[in-house]
Structure 1
Amino acid sequence: MPTNSTPHRKHAQLVRPSIGEFSRHELAILGAPCGRIKELVARLLPHLEPTLRVAYVDADHAAGDDAAQGGTGGVDAILQAGASAELTDKITFRRLDLRRGLDTFAQQEWMHQQSLVLVNGNHFRARQQLIILDPAKPLQKKLDRLTDVRLILLPEGVTELPDYLQEHLQSADIPCLGLSDTEAIAAAVLQHWQQQQPRLRGLVLAGGQSQRMGQDKSRLTYHGQQEQRAYAAELLAPFCEDVLVSCRPDQVTELQAAGLAPLPDTFLGLGPMSGLLSAFQQDPDAAWLVVACDLPFLTDATLGHLVAHRHAGRMATAYRSPENEWPEPLITIWEPRSYGTLLRFLSLGYSCPRKALINSDIELLPPPAPTELRNINTPEQQAEALKEIEGR
């Protein structure tokens, strides 16, 4: 009887993004009473928020105590009456109260728009930690939570690590700062965040049908005999770890023959969204510098300006379109957390990357050379572009 040597897989073999308990970038603060942890966070926020979008995760002692004594635990009348959720517009902010539990998947979904999550480590874990050596809250019983300590804070009068902590941390070279030195702590947190900035990979979008042009736009030549897909890949190369060319499955062989690295679409029929989602499906932990293949006027100076002004704390860094003031999605750095946003828009029936940018927290830049952002989509535009480039 024939046997199948290929092992059976119950689930699809997907690359899972590297996310902690709450977020890609998270720090649990522990080693002090909850009030002192919250006070530290309040001091740090004015120094962090100009650069980062910061969330704080904590537990409500009073609500827990009330529920344990038979009370409502802070639940208002609508939830008590049986509603599963209540969205309240507070005019200056919105609050969402849910009955569902704080499971791992939900908390990551809720926090994925934040660039940094600070966590009360007395109640919750995070994959990296900041510890306070407060004698009122020793850490002996929480050593299992100290898996990757990045900073040690010393209250006034404390100058040395206790023996049990030295033994646990062994020879780890962890910086120590005074608990009252707010600016230095904030600077250390920002430096830690910047050191974890996602790597940048390049993606040339070349899988379109080119219906208006009547021929494959990625194979047009404006600069000598070099095809546009190769020209764009060459522009991206100095700024990226590597460069892939997004394509239809039927284009793979010809791209390989041309010395390019193909990335065939795994999401089909979605236009540019196909290439973006396929790239994130392959590597959800990278940021993708995306360039369309139909930009013959684009230069390395404009790409370099985009990379130099990249804000990894936002969902994306994009240029403002010179035509309508909207973000230009096809010359954009898409950060890892944009993957979930793009999928969310797709689930709502939208396949337009620009719509995701317009409705998200992005860094929007004026282009240094607006004419370089011109797309060439028709034979008439192609003829004009060739004439202009040849006349330079």
Structure 2
Amino acid sequence: MAVPVLRGLVLAGGRSERMQTDKGALQYHDLDQRQHTAALLAEFCPDVRVSVRPDQSADLPAGLQPLSDTFLGLGPLGGILSAFQADPNAAWLVLACDLPFLTRDTLEHLVSNRQPARMATSFKSPWDEFPEPLVSIWEPRSYGQLLRFLSLGYSCPRKALINSDIELLAPPVPEELRNVNTPEERAAATQELEQRR
């Protein structure tokens, strides 16, 4: 069986309420987080889209391809389902836009250990041992599974992974999965990244 093509999805449609400003527009590197994350994905995926709310499409930096949410009010799950609606035959490598420590090497580990016969390939969270749904490869067969979970009232992609047949990998550098959600975390992350340069 042919392995489904791998497309990239940057999740940038959140309301960033804790950060009090759009997390995707923050800049920890040379580009903002939407551009930086899309560039990471482009090394592994021939096509990269940025998941946004319909009202955000016009605000994306030039060169980024928006994928407007068609499943509204579902948080990250809405972005993942909207990607599958756009191309149900692809696998989607999904990344949140608030992961400034994530590197190409960690993504390469995920892609090279991908198991297309399973529903998804995910990293185990270093904080609670559960799958990290927003640093995962979702295979085409997960589309129906996610819709089924949604019909049962579950809109948490992590719950879907926990209750499905997935490949769960130990992250090579656990701290790279750290997401940045608040102004205090942003200040600490900016300082740490500057010290590494």
TM exceeds 0.5?
A: yes
The equivalences for 1:70-109 within 5 A come to none
Secondary structure (helix, strand or coil) at the match of 2:175 reads: helix
Equivalent in the alignment of 1:206:
12
Equivalent in the alignment of 1:228:
33
The equivalences for 1:1-392 within 5 A come to 193=1, 196-224=2-30, 226-255=31-60, 257-392=61-196
Q: CA deviation at 1:258?
A: 2.4
Q: Give the letter aligned to residue 298 of structure 1.
A: L
Per the normalisation by structure 2, the TM-score is: 0.98
Secondary structure (helix, strand or coil) at the match of 1:384 reads: helix
Q: Give the letter aligned to residue 43 of structure 2.
A: P
Q: CA deviation at 1:209?
A: 0.2
| Matches of 2:58 and 2:132, distance apart in 1 | 30
| Matches of 1:215 and 1:361, distance apart in 2 | 36
Paired residues in the alignment total 196
Secondary structure (helix, strand or coil) at the match of 2:121 reads: strand
- The unaligned stretches of length 5 or more in structure 1 are 1-192
Per the normalisation by structure 1, the TM-score is: 0.50
Deviation string for 1:121-179 (max 9, x for gaps)? xxxxxxxxxxxxxxxxxxxxxxxxxxxxxxxxxxxxxxxxxxxxxxxxxxxxxxxxxxx
- The unaligned stretches of length 5 or more in structure 2 are none
| Matches of 2:177 and 2:62, distance apart in 1 | 26
Q: State, as a whole percentage, how many aligned pairs show the same letter.
A: 68
| Matches of 1:386 and 1:238, distance apart in 2 | 24
Equivalent in the alignment of 1:61:
none
Return the structure number with greater relative CO, CA threshold 8 A, min gap 6.
Answer: 2
Q: CA deviation at 1:277?
A: 0.3
* Greater Rg over alpha carbons, structure: 1
